[in-house]
Amino acid sequence: MCSRYRVDATGRELAARFGVPPPPGWEPGDELALGSMAPVLIAAPAKRFSLLRFGLRPGWAGEDAKPMLNARAESLAVKPYFRDAYRRRRCLVPAAAWLETPKRGADKSVRRLTLADGGLLAFAGLWEPGTFAVVTVEPNPLVRAIHDRMPAILAPGDEAAWLDERTPPERLAELLRPFPSERLACRHEAPQPQGDLFGAV
């Protein structure tokens, strides 16, 4: 699951990492959750950053539809809520870390998960005009002790394929796999109230 995350990078740092101009109007700050405006890298009509609202809602769904933070990789191609975005509007969601509160056990201190080398992650995402969601996959062994889902993290060499509309479905499916545990780090943060705000349909 990925209902809270942090970017903690300036526009210049994002531009250097992803090779495009900085996100317009972006200033790093608090953690990002439902309704937060966040930088998202999209490929149409040209590769660029856009500030979108966390919580995807298709235009056809109407204003009363529940915005979805996460989209399960296993059902992207068939669920109407995500199907069109999966085909035509895939994006990269930069992150420095994501935050989880364990579902099981007495220790409810928040875990902060990052790349072991401290670099910026790129989550696989989907976007609709004005909104986006993070794709989730089965957890690796490190995350499984905390939660039953994790963000789909793309290796730098796979980011272009995720964005490319021409990438065949079988290749897209290959990209959506658990990220290796040994390439991640996990540390405890101070306990705070938190629950998954919305699941994936």
Under the banding of pLDDT at 50, 70 and 90, the label for residue 62 is: confident
Nearest to 22 by CA among 8, 35, 3, 9: 9
In terms of phi and psi (left: phi > 0; alpha: psi -120 to 50; beta: otherwise), the region of 166 is alpha
Phi and psi at 163, nearest 5°, equal -75, -25
Q: What's the confidence (pLDDT) of residue 1? A: 58
Per-residue pLDDT at 14 exceeds 50? yes
Per-residue pLDDT at 199 exceeds 60? no
Per-residue pLDDT at 2 exceeds 80? no
Per-residue pLDDT at 191 exceeds 90? no
148-178: pLDDT as tens digits: 999 999 999 999 999 999 999 999 999 999 9
- DSSP annotation of 156 reads G
Rounded Cα distance, 182 and 45, in Å: 36
pLDDT above 70: percentage of residues in the chain = 92
85-132: pLDDT as tens digits: 999 999 999 999 999 988 766 677 899 999 999 999 999 999 999 999
Per-residue pLDDT at 198 exceeds 50? no
Tell me the mean pLDDT in the region 126-142. Answer: 97
Tell me the mean pLDDT in the region 79-83. Answer: 95
Neighbours of 188 (CB within 10 A): 10
Q: What's the mean per-residue pLDDT of the chain?
A: 91
- DSSP annotation of 60 reads G
Q: Distance between alpha carbon 53 and the CA centroid of its chain, in Å?
A: 12
Q: Where are the alpha helices (DSSP H) in 19-139?
A: 80-88
Neighbours of 114 (CB within 10 A): 19
Rounded Cα distance, 44 and 78, in Å: 23
184-188 vs 150-151, strand pairing mode: unpaired
Radius of gyration of the chain (CA): 16
Q: What's the confidence (pLDDT) of residue 105? A: 64
Report in angstroms the alpha-carbon separations of 124 from 40, 41, 50, 163, 187: 10, 10, 15, 9, 23
Per-residue pLDDT at 37 exceeds 60? yes
What is the CATH code of the structural domain delimited by 5-28+38-58+68-188? 3.90.1680.10
